[in-house]
Amino acid sequence: MLLYKKPSLLTDTNMHYCPGCSHAVVNKIIAEVLEEMNIGTENIIGVSPVGCGVFIYNYIDIDWVEAAHGRAPAVATGVKRMNPDKLVFTYQGDGEVTAIGTGEVIHACNRGENIAIIFINNAVFGMTNGQMAPTTPLGMKTTTCPDGRDPQLNGYPLPMAQLFADIQGTCYVTRQAVNTYKAVKNTKKAIRRAFDYSLQRKGTSVVEIICACPTNWKMTPVEANKYISDFSVKTFPLGDLKRP
Amino acid sequence: MFHHLLLTAVHATIQQGNVNIDNNRCKGCGLCVATCPAKTLQLSNNVNTRGYNFSQQLRPNRCIGCASCALICPDACITVFRTGLRKTI
Amino acid sequence: MLLKGNEALALAAIRYGVDAYYGYPITPQSEIMETLIAQKPWESTGMTVLQAESEVAAINMVYGTAATGRMAMTSSSGPGISLMQNGISYLCGANLPCLIVNVMRGGPGLGTISPSQADYFQATRGGGHGDYRTLVLAPSSVQEMADFVAIAFQWAFRYRNPAMILADGTIGQMMEKVTLPPFQQRLTASEVAKLHTWASTGRREGQQRNIVSSLDLDPAAMELKCLNREQRYQVAIDNDARHQAIHCDDAEILIVAFGSAARICTKTVQLARQQGIRAGLFRPITLWPFPAQALRQAAQHAQHILVVELNAGQMIDDVRLALTTQNNPTTTPNLPNTSNHPNTPTITHYGRLGGVVFTPEEILNHIKNIHTAPPTQTAPPTQTTPPTQTAPSTPPH
């Protein structure tokens, strides 16, 4: 009996992500969820980001719009307003959501746009070689804080999910991870909920996913996933912050 | 956990499974090897067409078909089958 | 109907069946969004009107709507248009059609809210990063504010590129009699899907997915995409350059002006003719593509070209390029060789800056100075550029 196979919406293209990258796990989960929802690909439009996640449009076999860095929630607004009955979601990294695109994401949430935001938080800027992000935990070393993040110099990890939860326009805010198979199962449930709420026009859903970037964290994939369990969750505790 | 089950259960049954790994899609990250509760997987000493030490199933008869490896696999390389129940004692 | 330019443009957009407007308030164009919202077009045509949190968000909402094959527009003024440039570059890169309205004010920086034409370079050179142009229409009346909405969208979809209406505070704010275009139905979802097969509207069963993107990491593939864009631009240059010529046939002094400056200069030409001065006006209606060939023809008898702009001298660069370049690379080949032009006219500029608007009489006085004095000695205090720029008498080798 077949128990698990690669979702058919995931293309045969080899993903460009580094070995053990959590981006790939989440791409796969999104494809699984979209397939299980069985709403027809004509009813799904994804908005892809700038950063490592940009090529998600090569991996999931649906229509895509590639947005400028950080502007995905504005682009998704433009898409969704024209297609109010379709599932519109953004896939964005922490550079987008917590740095350059804070304005767009906050205001999309505040308008209660019926979109889902999949927010990949791996604590660094992956595509540009691992610079510090607003989400970098205190003490973590990156190429732009080589001695570890110092709050005197660089401030504190930005708790965006808490902000989203406080905004009236959001209906569902959750923080998940994909570092264990149980976490993967939970993340899949969370993404499914977010997509369902979007289609039910309950408001904006945000699924923050604590991800590993083994290459830029200079760890093996197994070590990176363990780092999430041992350290990352202290800065970013997992769980639902808001449910409808 | 499952070893515990094996030792204590009398006439207990456990799931038996099998996996099929797409060697050429695999990047040898080793997450499946670390996740597998039955320790059936191992990275190969050989490399695939892209130069990665791909994952392979060394002890298929120990596979319990839990699909943990497939869930954690970033590149969706693993297909999992349940082949039936196996009497433990 | 008596309307402000900004109002006429807004009403024309609803009537043309535009699908969405996204904008952020800025003087002197805030009436566009206010008029749209007062009309409640979502109840009549189904048009979306949304006040965005910034110009950056507005242009990216335009990008999203355009990516679904829909007619999207935004409007702003210089400071806001500057913020939009990144988005405009992405729209060009992703081959998306849209309309951007710039009701210019004086700058740079926060500048002033009074009328200006200082965004000519920004509009006609692209403005953002990368090799691209926007199709730029410059209205000089309230009627044209209304009429250019349709032309801009037709061109935007024909060339799969943003089009811009470059107005200024004068045209946006002044009231004039205007005939609005008739109502037109918005396209249905199935019509859009059939017409714009490139649009990301949801992959239909058995079809390939559409990816609207400006990215391609393969240089060879990227070059092909860029060359394709240049080919489209060449078609626009060959077919869609527009101008208006007033008394150009026998003009010794040819004024070149666009938008509100052209409107003022129309009166100047009238006054000059009454006083026996053979003046003419050449008004580029499209600033890009620039009507270079038509200008060469209009300038055949001119002794002097006076470029009149509400800026420090921007369009004068295009006038010089049109009149002094043997083979203008931005126009079609096999044009008349201008270096053999019987007259090589002098080309000078007259401009007011910082939101100050000249009067017809002011320009007329300037013309009289040129007319009576040898051009090389003319240097009135208001002149903003060195008084003469003589065209080369021999072609460059």
Say if the Cβ atoms of B30 and A2 lie within 8 Å.
Answer: no
DSSP string, C85-149: HHHHHHHHHTT--EEEEEEEBS-STT--SSB--TTHHHHHS-SSSSS---EEE---SHHHHHHHH
C253-278 pLDDT, tens digit per residue, is: 999 999 999 999 999 999 999 999 99
C58 vs C294: CA distance, rounded Å = 36
**Once rounded to an integer, what is the mean pLDDT over residues C7-19?**
98
B50-81 pLDDT, tens digit per residue, is: 999 999 999 888 999 999 999 999 999 999 99
C156-204 pLDDT, tens digit per residue, is: 999 999 999 999 999 999 999 999 999 999 999 999 999 999 999 999 9
Is the model's pLDDT at C352 over the cut of 80? yes
pLDDT for C375: 46
C108-118 pLDDT, tens digit per residue, is: 999 999 999 99
Among A26, A68, A25, A77, residue whose Cα is nearest residue A48: A68
Confidence bin at B15 (pLDDT 50/70/90): confident
Domain limits at C136? 2-177
Helix (H) or strand (E) holding A241, with range, is strand A239-242
- Residues of A with Cβ-Cβ distance to B35 under 8 angstroms: 180-181
Span of A15-24, A69-78, C26-35, C378-387 with lowest mean pLDDT? C378-387
A92 vs A72: CA distance, rounded Å = 8
The CATH fold assigned to A22-242 is Rossmann fold (3.40.50)
Say if the Cβ atoms of A2 and B50 lie within 8 Å.
Answer: no
pLDDT for B54: 97
Flag whether residue A16 sits within 8 Å of chain C, measured between CB atoms: no
Say if the Cβ atoms of B72 and A25 lie within 8 Å.
Answer: yes
Beta strands at A116-121 and A87-93: parallel, antiparallel or unpaired: parallel
Is the model's pLDDT at C106 over the cut of 60? yes
Residue C369, SS3 per DSSP: helix
Is the model's pLDDT at A70 over the cut of 80? yes
**Once rounded to an integer, what is the mean pLDDT over residues A175-204?**
98
C107 vs A179: CA distance, rounded Å = 53
Alpha-carbon gap: A115 to the closest alpha carbon of chain C (Å): 13
8 A C-beta contact, residue C257 and residue C279 = no
8 A C-beta contact, residue A110 and residue A169 = yes
Confidence bin at C370 (pLDDT 50/70/90): confident
Structural domain count of chain C:
2
pTM reported for the whole predicted model: 0.92
Alpha-carbon gap: B10 to the closest alpha carbon of chain A (Å): 26
Residue for token pair 């003024």:
C77
A114-161 pLDDT, tens digit per residue, is: 999 999 999 999 999 999 999 999 999 999 999 999 999 999 999 999
Residues C363 and C252 in one domain: yes
Among A99, A93, A134, residue whose Cα is nearest residue A117: A93
C266, part of any domain:
yes
C199, part of any domain:
no
C50-90 pLDDT, tens digit per residue, is: 999 999 999 999 999 999 999 999 999 999 999 999 999 99
Say if the Cβ atoms of A3 and B80 lie within 8 Å.
Answer: yes
pLDDT for C202: 97
Test the B interface: residue of A10, A181, A209, A227 with most B CBs within 10 Å: A181
pLDDT > 70 in chain A, percent: 100
The CATH fold assigned to B2-87 is Alpha-Beta Plaits (3.30.70)
Is the model's pLDDT at C11 over the cut of 60? yes
pLDDT > 70 in chain C, percent: 89
Q: Going by beta carbons, is chain B in contact with chain A, meaning 3 or more pairs sit under 8 Å apart? A: yes
Confidence bin at B89 (pLDDT 50/70/90): low
Rg of chain B's alpha carbons, rounded to an integer?
14
Residues C122 and C254 in one domain: no
Say if the Cβ atoms of B74 and A10 lie within 8 Å.
Answer: no
8 A C-beta contact, residue B78 and residue B13 = no
pLDDT for C333: 41
- Higher local confidence (pLDDT), C383 or C140: C140
Most distant pair of Cα atoms in chain C: their distance: 75
Of A64, A68, A107, nearest to C90 by CB-CB distance is A68
C238-255 pLDDT, tens digit per residue, is: 999 999 999 999 999 999
Flag whether residue B16 sits within 8 Å of chain A, measured between CB atoms: no
Alpha-carbon gap: C52 to the closest alpha carbon of chain A (Å): 8
Domain boundaries, chain A: 22-242
Of A3, A10, A17, nearest to B67 by CB-CB distance is A3
Residues C261 and C162 in one domain: no
C20-49 pLDDT, tens digit per residue, is: 999 999 999 999 999 999 999 999 999 999
Is the model's pLDDT at C153 over the cut of 60? yes
Among C177, C199, C230, where does a domain finish?
Answer: C177
β-strand partners of A145: A142
Domain boundaries, chain B: 2-87
Q: Provide the CATH number for the domain around residue C363.
A: 3.40.50.920
pLDDT for B12: 72
pLDDT for C332: 40
- Residues of B with Cβ-Cβ distance to A214 under 8 angstroms: 29
Alpha-carbon gap: B68 to the closest alpha carbon of chain A (Å): 5
Is the model's pLDDT at C387 over the cut of 90? no
Q: Which residue of A has its CA nearest to C62?
A: A78
Residue C283, SS3 per DSSP: strand
Say if the Cβ atoms of C64 and A76 lie within 8 Å.
Answer: yes
Q: Please give the C-alpha separations between residue C191 and each of A46, B46, C159, C187, C210, in angstroms, as whole numbers.
A: 22, 55, 19, 6, 17
